[in-house]
Structure 1
């Protein structure tokens, strides 16, 4: 069983994004989602002051003045606008974002989110804008690997890392499955390939329930 690639997770997540939404993509894995939304009627926001981001530019065509919050080169779509941080966070805090896709170190069964670090080896050793996004966007979806590099579960009954926000996550997209956070716990909607329910449960640190008809994703 080969886990889904980052682009594969991004492609699967993009299928659930509705046209007309205003969407913020967090730093790291979520940045891959932008390329999967190219040509769609979805407006991408970045907290460094951009509304109307386009896909990643081809190699050699980067504009050093066009970057996202993760300092990655971007393009702009027709009608894009630029503004200062104050207005950008007014969009975030004012509830104007339909969706924010964030990466995470851990997610709890009740939707608690832990996605920041004080590790000096981390490129962004601080909360950054994630705390504002976690409580300001109408929906929080997480894109992450299902387990850590040592195989430890990253989806848990309770987070062991410092929280970014409580109970904010609604959907989790991993390299193994798609899960929904419900009032009764985690519901599995989709599983990767031939991975069994028992194998998924063994890689998850919280109880799972399974939809009546669980879909299957290709790697």
Structure 2
């Protein structure tokens, strides 16, 4: 079976390391805040000016003034800092974020990402995504493997306007964990119960499949 949104976030949370400053983009990436591994200290950064973002609040914790970049209510962890969006983007543009997790509409074999514009749809702007992909070396794209109409989002070449060029090296989808290198997607893990054949069918860009592709190993919830 394909992973749920929560399970996708759980898989990406495995990539968090002690001491990391991590930016979570809007959409599925915000769920990663709920699954930070125990025993490590990670500071989650929201581009609207919060460093030290905690999990989503319970009803008792709810504060309508405490929101992330996607306008969702959040909590602040012990030691959190609140500052202006100008200072937040100085942190991002200065390369002080260790890991960025972003959603996307398309990713291609060259590591290009398109994440902000759908033809025919009203778009308010690209948000901070262009700054994030330019200011971080360590980026994970977290997205569904295919669009709602079943078309692959892992392409030979992006068809939508680019957010960033040649900047993506890792992708986690509801079907697989892939790396991008040498102009190809490399299949590293598959979601439990998902066949290699299904991943191949839904990957439009060139895909390298090793002889053995292990299933993801984490506690699914």
* Alignment TM class, shorter chain as reference: over 0.9
Partner of residue 197, structure 1: 196
Query: Which 4+ residue blocks in structure 1 deviate beyond 6 angstroms?
Result: none
1:135-154 superposed matches below 5 A: 135-154=134-153
Partner of residue 162, structure 2: 163
- Find the aligned partners of 1:145 and 1:135 in 2 and give their Cα distance: 23
Matched, 1:4 2:40: no
Give the structure with the higher percent strand. 1
- Find the aligned partners of 1:64 and 1:199 in 2 and give their Cα distance: 42
Q: How many residues align?
A: 217
Partner of residue 104, structure 1: 104
Q: 1:59 to 1:211 in 2, by over 3 A?
A: farther
What SS does the aligned partner of 2:213 have? strand
Matched, 1:27 2:26: yes
Q: C-alpha displacement at 1:201, in angstroms? A: 0.9
TM-score under structure 1 length normalisation: 0.93
Q: C-alpha displacement at 1:71, in angstroms? A: 0.8
TM-score under structure 2 length normalisation: 0.92
Partner of residue 61, structure 1: 61
CA contact (8 A) 1:52 1:79 kept: yes
Unaligned runs of 5+ in 1: none
What SS does the aligned partner of 1:97 have? coil
- Find the aligned partners of 1:71 and 1:194 in 2 and give their Cα distance: 34
What SS does the aligned partner of 1:91 have? helix
- Find the aligned partners of 2:107 and 2:63 in 1 and give their Cα distance: 35
Partner of residue 44, structure 2: 44
Q: CA RMSD in A?
A: 1.8
- Find the aligned partners of 1:201 and 1:35 in 2 and give their Cα distance: 31
- Find the aligned partners of 1:29 and 1:100 in 2 and give their Cα distance: 13
What SS does the aligned partner of 1:86 have? helix
What SS does the aligned partner of 1:217 have? coil
